[in-house]
Amino acid sequence: MLTITAPAGASPAEFARLLMADLEPLTDELVRRILTGEHAYAESTLLSAEELREAVHTNLDSVLRQLAGEPDHGLHAARATGRLKAEYGFPLAALLHAYRLAGRLVWDHMRAACTENPELLPDIGADVWRIIDDYSTAATEEYGRAVAERTGRDAELRRVELRALLDGVLEPGRLHAAAQTLQLPATGVFLVVCAESGGATEPLAGIERRLRDKNVVSYWTSEVHTRVGLLSLSTEHVLPQVLDLLRREAGGRVGVSARFAAPLGARAAVRQAELAMTGIEPGETTAAAYGQAALPLALAHTPDAARELRDAVLGPVLALPDPDRDALITTVRAWFDCGGSLAATAERLHYHRNTINHRLRRVEQLTGRDRSDPRAAAELYAAVLADRLFPLPEE
């Protein structure tokens, strides 16, 4: 170890200036200590030997100048080092350990030089560790800022790549870079989820963590009326669990696409998820998979045609005063839901069977559809379903 000798009566500042005269060998010694005592530096291929030595030299020079009471750039060196290490991905603990090693190096040399002035040791030690603490704090704060900025940049890049995939504007040549950014495999099991928004809370809030618990990677983006997610499943055997989770967590209507095998299939899957969501009755809180119910899906595909069907079949019923209209629509819906059973419909609605039968006959008269005729009943059911999915706006 390099040894300096201070004259009797020397001040702590004079000790520091003596060390500054030997800054180059002190830098080499500290670099050796860091590489020996901190594996994160020794094993890194990101930081060159020149960059490490430059960072050590700058910080050591700045620390000694502080001890010597000479003008310096304050904590600039510490902040620059914190940002550098964050950008290279060094652990924060390794950075702080390096500062402790620097403090120990300076303390060892100044203590060795104090054989003639032992009474100065408490003040020197207090100054050394106060300055090292200040440098460590400044480096930590800048490290945190740099990590936050990088995280923000990474999040924005992921958002852009996700949006490109979902919108179908990602060129095939960019797929590899996008997949790397989103940490998606080139092939696998993928889903798109579309959740209806509009309430005070974000739909499917916190779903990312719950999906991660099932080894499902997901990325989400919010639109005006929906929240859309791209899911990458570890295996297709997880699919039933994912659907169950989405049903439990749904705070409104949630549509799920059919599974697809490559990220470039996301655009078509968005449309599937939107249709699956539209095929759920407004006001319900559940998730439905694309193709799960054929007739709601067909109506969702052509909403204008569905409204025309509703008006053509149920027009006379919908034109009634609100109490009559609601009573008839509620009854015919319940009758279909109960599989055409008068008894079950009466029990569900808490009316006598004769009342239910009377209302159904009135619907038949108004619509011209005999419910005993399968074709007429099918038209009536499709119209009732269209009215569920695309109800008339409230006046």
* Residue 178 in domain: no
- Are 290 and 335 contained in the same domain? no
Question: Are 186 and 175 contacting, i.e. CB atoms less than 8 angstroms apart?
Answer: yes
CA–CA gap between residue 277 and residue 288 (Å, rounded) = 7
Q: How many H-runs (helices) and E-runs (strands) does the chain carry?
A: 17, 5
Other CB atoms within a 10 A radius of the CB of residue 39 amount to 11
- Are 140 and 35 contained in the same domain? yes
Q: What is the largest CA-CA distance in the chain?
A: 117
CA–CA gap between residue 328 and residue 268 (Å, rounded) = 39
- Are 277 and 329 contained in the same domain? no
- The three-class DSSP label of residue 36 is helix
Which CATH number covers residue 236?
A: 3.30.70
- Are 280 and 368 contained in the same domain? no
- The three-class DSSP label of residue 22 is coil
Tell me, what's the pLDDT at 150?
A: 74
Question: Are 388 and 281 contacting, i.e. CB atoms less than 8 angstroms apart?
Answer: yes
Question: Are 115 and 73 contacting, i.e. CB atoms less than 8 angstroms apart?
Answer: no
Tell me, what's the pLDDT at 42?
A: 55
Question: Are 184 and 174 contacting, i.e. CB atoms less than 8 angstroms apart?
Answer: no
Tokens representing 63 are 């620390």
* Residue 3 in domain: no
* Residue 172 in domain: no
Provide the phi-psi class of 350: left if phi over 0, else alpha when psi is between -120 and 50, else beta.
left
In sequence order, what are the beta bridge partners of 217?
Answer: 232
CA–CA gap between residue 276 and residue 377 (Å, rounded) = 24
- Are 21 and 140 contained in the same domain? yes
* Residue 179 in domain: no
Tell me, what's the pLDDT at 75?
A: 84
Which CATH number covers residue 367?
A: 1.10.10.2840
Q: At which of 269, 296, 323 does a domain end?
A: 296
* Residue 259 in domain: yes
According to the 3-state scheme, what is the secondary structure of 217-273?
A: EEEEEECCCEEEEEEEECCHHHHHHHHHHHHHHCCCEEEECCCECCHHHHHHHHHHH
| Residue type, position 393, single letter | P
Tokens representing 86 are 């964050």
- Are 269 and 354 contained in the same domain? no
Which CATH number covers residue 56?
A: 1.10.490
Please classify residue 348 by burial: count the beta carbons closer than 10 Å to its beta carbon, then call 0-12 exposed, 13-18 middle and 19+ buried: middle
- Are 110 and 232 contained in the same domain? no
- Are 137 and 16 contained in the same domain? yes
Q: At which of 131, 149, 167 does a domain end?
A: 149
Domain holding 17, by residue range, is: 12-149
Question: Are 67 and 128 contacting, i.e. CB atoms less than 8 angstroms apart?
Answer: yes
Provide the phi-psi class of 99: left if phi over 0, else alpha when psi is between -120 and 50, else beta.
alpha
CA 364, 367, 368, 374 dihedral sign is negative
Per-residue pLDDT of the chain in tens (395 residues, 90 and over written 9)? 455 555 555 677 777 787 888 888 888 888 888 888 766 665 455 677 888 888 888 888 888 888 888 766 678 888 888 888 888 877 888 888 888 888 888 888 887 777 766 777 787 788 888 888 988 998 888 888 877 777 666 667 777 788 888 887 766 667 667 777 787 888 899 999 999 987 667 788 889 999 999 889 999 988 878 899 999 998 889 999 999 999 999 989 999 999 999 888 889 999 999 999 999 988 889 999 998 888 988 999 899 999 999 999 999 999 999 999 999 999 999 999 999 999 999 999 999 999 999 999 999 999 999 999 999 999 999 999 999 999 877 65
Q: At which of 296, 327, 355 does a domain end?
A: 296
* Residue 263 in domain: yes
- Are 264 and 341 contained in the same domain? no
* Residue 170 in domain: no
Number of residues that this document lists for the chain = 395
Residues 6+ apart with CB under 8 A from 123: 12
- Are 131 and 34 contained in the same domain? yes
* Residue 195 in domain: yes
Tokens representing 211 are 């999906």
- Are 139 and 39 contained in the same domain? yes
Number of domains in the chain: 3
Question: Are 186 and 179 contacting, i.e. CB atoms less than 8 angstroms apart?
Answer: yes
- Are 81 and 140 contained in the same domain? yes
- What contacts 24+ positions apart, CB below 8 Å, involve 157-162? 157/181, 158/182, 158/219, 159/221, 162/219, 162/221, 162/230
